[in-house]
Amino acid sequence: MKKFFLLIVIVLFSINVFSQINIIPKPTSIIEKEGVFIVGNNVIINVIADDPALVEMVNPLLLTLSEKKADGVFKTKFNSTSKLNNIVFQLDKKLTDLGDEGYQLSVTPKNIHISAYKKAGLFYALQSLLQIIHLETKTSKDIKIPCVEITDIPKFQWRGMLLDCGRHFMDKAFVKRYIDLLAYYKMNRLHWHLTEDQGWRIEIKKYPKLTEVGAWRTEADGSRYGGFYTQDDIREIVAYANERFVTVVPEIEMPGHSVAAIASYPYLSCTGNPINVETQWGVFKDIYCAGNDSTFTFLKDVLTEVMGLFPSKYIHIGGDEAPKFRWEQCPKCQTRMRVQNLKGEHKLQTWFIEQIDAFLELNGRKLIGWDEILEGGLSKGATVQSWRGMEGAIEAARSGHDAIVSPTSHAYFDYEISNINLEKVYHFDPVPKELTKEESTHILGGECNLWSERAPQEKVDERMFPRLLAMSEVLWNYPEKRDYVAFRKRVQLQYPVLNRRGVTYGFERDPLILNAITDIKKRTISIQLEKGQEGTNIYYTLNGSKPDRKSILYTQPFEVRDSLKLNIAVLADGSENGFYYERVFKMNKTTGYSPVFMFPYSNNYPGSGNTSLTNGVFGTYNFRDGNWQGFEGNDMIATINFEEIKEFTKVSTGFLQSTPSWIFFPTECDFLISEDGLNFVSIGKRNATESQKNTELQIRRYEINSTSTIKAKYIRIAAKNVGVCPDWHPGAGGKTWIFADEIILE
């Protein structure tokens, strides 16, 4: 009986210990042991190494222990011979298997011993120990650290975050704060986006107008907005990051996203005309002139000063979203193409990138560019950052080039939580399955990106957290078997830590998860609502007013058999603040059928898949809501085979327009029918009537109404794409999109 009781105690103790090891990112190996190390009044922090500077590195531990145990007297010693009651940090040149960033952390009742091959490993071990201590309760007189053996080695060498300070300036203290947060969660790259159409943020001594003019813009209300970092600011931030083993990688955009630079020095453009620093978001046709030698003189001068400020081996040059409209019209660019025997403007961009690549290589640096630098061929030394899906990374790796992955599907943290939630980030796989084992070695790692069009400084926290916790775990631990439930429990324990750090984190997922399941045989849509946040309730009205606590409380799924406008409120307990949604559903003769598309929809905007246009769920004014299907550069031609004759008098299709996002209404929509699927006859066309220059988000249904019954076995919707952005558009020459939703047959 005593043995049985002892076994229960040991098991319960083991569970308690396990519950206290809640490090994010989760270490590679954790072995729980019996007992605890008690931090008493006279613990010695002992640094055993050849580098006295490491004593300063462990100061955060000294401060933390002093805060947690006010009556303690803690000391840091260098190469002490003391054997007991030590917290030891030791560099061991024999531990080569740990690599540059790995570590071992051993907690016994007598000592805590940390060892690593390199200083970075000791630093990351310190972060793990700090997390364990931070998660301890403050009720105990002594700090009790569970006995454990940890061996921890990161899976990816590149674990980063992009911070866009071009569109919205962020002050120096804020940037340093994010370096602290990255380091705490073992992220090691700050990708610093410093130049944009809306602002140039880095002081360049040789070109003072870049910050006198390019760093400022005049907003719609007449106010002056902007800011920049002096070279002393940059040096301070870089040094601060280096102390925390975070490499700051600067991004100097070229050839596109360069309006602020051109506003400062108009000769850099193809026209030479004066322009203003941009105030709108989007992609703009004024880019650096590839035919002008002075452009390259300017860029090399800028990069020379940049390299003097940033010790990073890598320099990011952008290379994305560079419309070729100006180059097509520019005599200098066309001459450059003839002299260099370049066939097309994409080849001209490759040539442009090659000049910069060679210059950086000459100076001992390596170039990174967004995946558009693949167009026209990849320059010799380039590393690709893949953002438009994983295809860029696959192509780069297969050609022997390194790649960094940050696809819009999982890594764009400026996107709403309804598009990319915590669970989705946690299940992100940085290594494309299409790659062989050898090819996959070219995947350096990944980044989470914070573009700041709609995320100024005060909004960054709620966009980055808690999603950054998931990205840090994926890039450090790369768990083969993902256990989101266990991960989420560890996330909950991090919130008090984030609170102490002043992080105003956002939601883990959308406050409302709505699933609409279509049953074609029963002719119903089952609507399932789920709370995305704890401590909330869902209320709704059917074709009624704004819901409140007196409305219908959602408790179980319900069915739609015809049409329905559903108004939903997600209200927090004890508060009238909430989130409100409106969704429209309609059962009709197309519901549940799978259209066949002549041109495939984009993987970036797939809607809900093949039946997205026939599932009875209408899209909202958020074109990323999962109900809109996007077609880039191609017409939207969808054919439905009913396999029997259908009778109807009305047919319609919905489209969305958001011209700042390059999404245009179709210029024409043709509705066609067929009996055999081969010969189609038009029953009517509808043309776009709205102005393309209207930048407001618009939804319109193109429809045909007939006074007589129409009979058809097949129906085809052929919506004509604008094709490329017109001359007046900031992205002139770039491919346009069609966004479509429900095909309705009545």
- What per-residue confidence (pLDDT) applies to 20? 63
Residue 65 has pLDDT above 60, yes or no: yes
- What per-residue confidence (pLDDT) applies to 131? 94
Instruction: Please compute, for residue 399, the number of CA atoms within 13 A of its CA located in the half-sphere on the CB side.
Output: 17
The DSSP 8-state label assigned to residue 454 in this structure reads: S
Residue 159 has pLDDT above 70, yes or no: yes
Q: How far apart are CA 742 and CA 618, in angstroms?
A: 6
Residue 240, both tokens: 């601060």
382 vs 43, which has greater pLDDT?
Answer: 382
Residue 2 has pLDDT above 60, yes or no: no
Q: Check: CB of residue 54 under 8 Å from CB of residue 88.
A: no
Q: How far apart are CA 338 and CA 360, in angstroms?
A: 26
Model confidence band, residue 3 (pLDDT cutoffs 50, 70, 90): very low
State the residue for tokens 């943020």.
Answer: 201
The DSSP 8-state label assigned to residue 206 in this structure reads: T
For the segment 675-704, the average pLDDT, to the nearest whole number, is 92
- What per-residue confidence (pLDDT) applies to 577? 66
CATH number of the 2-152 domain: 3.30.379.10
Q: Phi/psi at 483 (nearest 5 deg)?
A: -120, 90
332 vs 558, which has greater pLDDT?
Answer: 332
**How do strand 629-632 and strand 737-745 relate by DSSP bridges?**
antiparallel
Q: How far apart are CA 341 and CA 535, in angstroms?
A: 65
* Helices 467-476, 484-500: crossing angle, 10 deg rounding: 120
Residue 381, helix vs strand vs coil: coil
Closest by Cα among 268, 194, 257 to 231: 194
> Taking the complete model, does pTM exceed 0.85, yes or no?
no
Residue 429, both tokens: 């796989």
* Domains 2-152 and 194-381 fall in the same CATH topology: no
629 vs 516, which has greater pLDDT?
Answer: 629
Closest by Cα among 267, 261, 274, 271 to 318: 261
Q: Check: CB of residue 259 under 8 Å from CB of residue 166.
A: no
Q: How far apart are CA 479 and CA 482, in angstroms?
A: 6
State the residue for tokens 């009986």.
Answer: 1
For the segment 542-554, the average pLDDT, to the nearest whole number, is 89
Q: How far apart are CA 660 and CA 284, in angstroms?
A: 10
Residue 69 has pLDDT above 80, yes or no: no
Question: Hey, where are the domains in the chain?
Answer: 2-152, 194-381, 510-587, 590-746
- What per-residue confidence (pLDDT) applies to 522? 78
| Of the candidate ranges 193-197, 203-207, 726-730, the one whose mean pLDDT is the lowest | 726-730
Q: At residue 331, what is the residue type?
A: P
Residue 17 has pLDDT above 60, yes or no: no
Residue 206, both tokens: 């040789």
- pLDDT tens for residues 420-456? 999 999 999 999 999 999 999 999 999 999 999 989 9
- What per-residue confidence (pLDDT) applies to 9? 36
- Is the bond preceding residue 466 a cis peptide, omega within 30 degrees? yes
CATH number of the 194-381 domain: 3.20.20.80
SS3 content of the chain, % helix, strand, coil (to 5): 30, 30, 40
- pLDDT tens for residues 307-355? 999 999 999 999 999 989 999 999 999 999 999 999 999 999 999 999 9
For the segment 676-697, the average pLDDT, to the nearest whole number, is 91
For the chain, the straight-line distance linking the first and the last C-alpha, in angstroms and rounded, comes to 76
**How do strand 366-370 and strand 383-386 relate by DSSP bridges?**
parallel
Q: At residue 645, what is the residue type?
A: I
Residue 559, helix vs strand vs coil: strand
- What per-residue confidence (pLDDT) applies to 524? 83
Residue 574, both tokens: 């004890």
| Of the candidate ranges 21-25, 476-480, 597-601, 690-694, the one whose mean pLDDT is the lowest | 690-694
Q: How far apart are CA 28 and CA 406, in angstroms?
A: 23
- pLDDT tens for residues 221-244? 999 999 999 999 999 999 999 999
Model confidence band, residue 196 (pLDDT cutoffs 50, 70, 90): very high
- What per-residue confidence (pLDDT) applies to 696? 83
Q: For residue 561, what are the CA distances in angstroms to 553, 558, 616?
A: 21, 10, 10
Q: How far apart are CA 613 and CA 269, in angstroms?
A: 43
- pLDDT tens for residues 129-151? 999 998 864 545 778 899 999 99
- Fold category of 510-587 in CATH: Immunoglobulin-like (2.60.40)
Residue 712 has pLDDT above 90, yes or no: yes
| Three-state SS sequence of 2-13 | HHHHHHHHHHHH
Q: For residue 15, what are the CA distances in angstroms to 106, 342, 485, 687, 698?
A: 19, 67, 17, 67, 56
With residue 237 as reference, give the H or E element that holds it.
helix 231-243
CATH number of the 590-746 domain: 2.60.120.1190
Q: Rounded to 5 degrees, what angle do the CA atoms 274, 370, 357 make? A: 80
**Beta partners for 720?**
668
- What per-residue confidence (pLDDT) applies to 4? 35
Mean pLDDT of the chain: 91
| CA–centroid distance for 554 within its chain | 33
Q: For residue 372, what are the CA distances in angstroms to 69, 382, 388, 433, 649?
A: 54, 12, 9, 22, 46
Greatest Cα pair distance, the chain, in angstroms, is: 98
- Is the bond preceding residue 730 a cis peptide, omega within 30 degrees? no
**How do strand 512-519 and strand 552-553 relate by DSSP bridges?**
unpaired
383 vs 697, which has greater pLDDT?
Answer: 383
Q: How far apart are CA 555 and CA 530, in angstroms?
A: 9
Model confidence band, residue 575 (pLDDT cutoffs 50, 70, 90): low
Q: Check: CB of residue 411 under 8 Å from CB of residue 451.
A: no
Q: How far apart are CA 631 and CA 635, in angstroms?
A: 7
Residue 33, helix vs strand vs coil: strand
Residue 14 has pLDDT above 70, yes or no: no
